[in-house]
Amino acid sequence: MKLISFCSGCGGLDHGILSAYKTTLIYSCESNKHARATLLAHHPTTVLGDDIMKTSAAKITSDCQLTPNDVLLCVGGVPCPSFSTIGKRKALDDPRGACMTQFFHICVNLKAKYIVLENVRGLLTSAIRAQSKGSVLKYFINFLEKLEYSVSYQLYDAKYFGVPQTRDRVILVAVKNDNALPFLSATHGLNGLPRFQTLGDVIKTLPDTHDHTQFPQSRLKYFAMLTAGQHWRHLPKEHQLKAVGAATLKDKGGNTGVFRRLSYDKPSPTLLCSPTSHKTALCHPEKVRPLSIQEYKRIQCFPDDYEINGSLLAQYRQLGNAVPIRVGMAIGKLIQEHIDGHRRNCVYTRLSINKAPSYSTADTLP
C-alpha cells in the first residue's frame, strides 16, 4: 500500500495514518508555502505537489513512478469554507469547493483501492445551487458507486478517539470492489472505554515556555475578571455592555465564545486558525493569554517536537486546520483491519453527533 495525500496541510491526517498503519507516504499535495515547508521538514524524500487544481493522475503516476501493481490509499482534507455553515456556502461553484471534485477525479483515475475524505459538518447539508440539502454529498456518493466503490461516511466528534477537543468532522471512506468499510471504532467516552481526555490532561504538564499571540489590550481586563469555564455572561453586569456591545447583549443565542476562558476539566472547544477572534476566543484557564502553539500541538495530538514552519500566525493556521493525529490513527487502524480481514458490520452507532443522511443509489444524479 502506498499513501497519497492531497491538501495535506501540516500533515496531521498523514502522520496519524502512518502511526497506525505501516504504509509509505509517496506524494503530498499542498499549496500553502508555510505548510509545504512543514511537510518537507518531515518528509524530505516524498514527492511534493503544489496546487491540486494544477495536477493530474497522469502527472502523479509519472512523478511517483507508479505501476499497475501499486495499491493506493488516497486521502484528503480539501478546503472547507465553501461547505461550512458560516459563509455564502457556494459549494462546488466556489473555487475552493471545486477542489473536492478534482480530488475525487484524481483518486479514481489513479485507481485508488481506498479513498478517504475529511471535511466539515456543513458538507452534510451543502447543496448544488438550488437543489436539496445534501445534494453535494449525494452527487459524490453516486459518482463513486458508479465506478464500483462502496462508500460509508459519518459525522464524528474527535474526543471519542482520545483527542482532548470537541471537533466535529465528516469522514468518508470508499473502497474499490469490496463491501463498504464500517465506521471508526471509538477509543474513549463510551461504556467500558476510558473517559474523554480533557484540556488539563494534556497542557498542565507543559514547560512554562510558550509561543503565543495576545488579545487586544482593551480586552485583557475583562478576561482577568473571569475564572476557568466562564464567559462574558459571567462578567459583572456593569461591565457587560462595554465589553461586548449592545448587539451581543441582546442576542439570545448566548455567544459563549465571547471572552471565553477554557476549563481544565473539559475537552477544549474546536481549535481555530486564530485563538483571539472576538466570538471564538480560546483563553487559557488561568493565565490572561490565548492558547499557545505548544498547547495547540498537544490538543491536536502532535508530538511536542513536531516542527511547524512559518510565522506565529502561520503556525496557528496550520494547526487549527489540521486533522487531529488520533483521528488519523483511527482511520489507519480501520484500513489495517480491513486489509487483515477483520471485518465489522457497517452499521450506524451512537459514536457520532447524529446520524448522517442516507441516500439511495437509485436517486437521480444532480
Catalogue the active-site residues: 80
Query: What distance in Å separates the CA atoms of residue 196 and residue 14, rounded to the nearest whole number?
Result: 23
CA atoms of 139 and 23, how far apart (whole Å):
30
The CA-based angle 324-123-347, given to 5 degrees, is 75
Helix (H) or strand (E) holding 332: helix 325-340
Locus of grid cell 471537533: 167
Is 221 in a helix, a strand, or coil? helix
What distance in Å separates the CA atoms of residue 148 and residue 97, rounded to the nearest whole number? 24
Kindly give the pairing relationship between strand 72-76 and strand 2-6: parallel
Report the candidate in 218, 264, 254 with the shortest Cα–Cα distance to residue 239: 218
DSSP 170-199: EEEEEEETSPPP-PPPP-SSSTTSPPPP-H
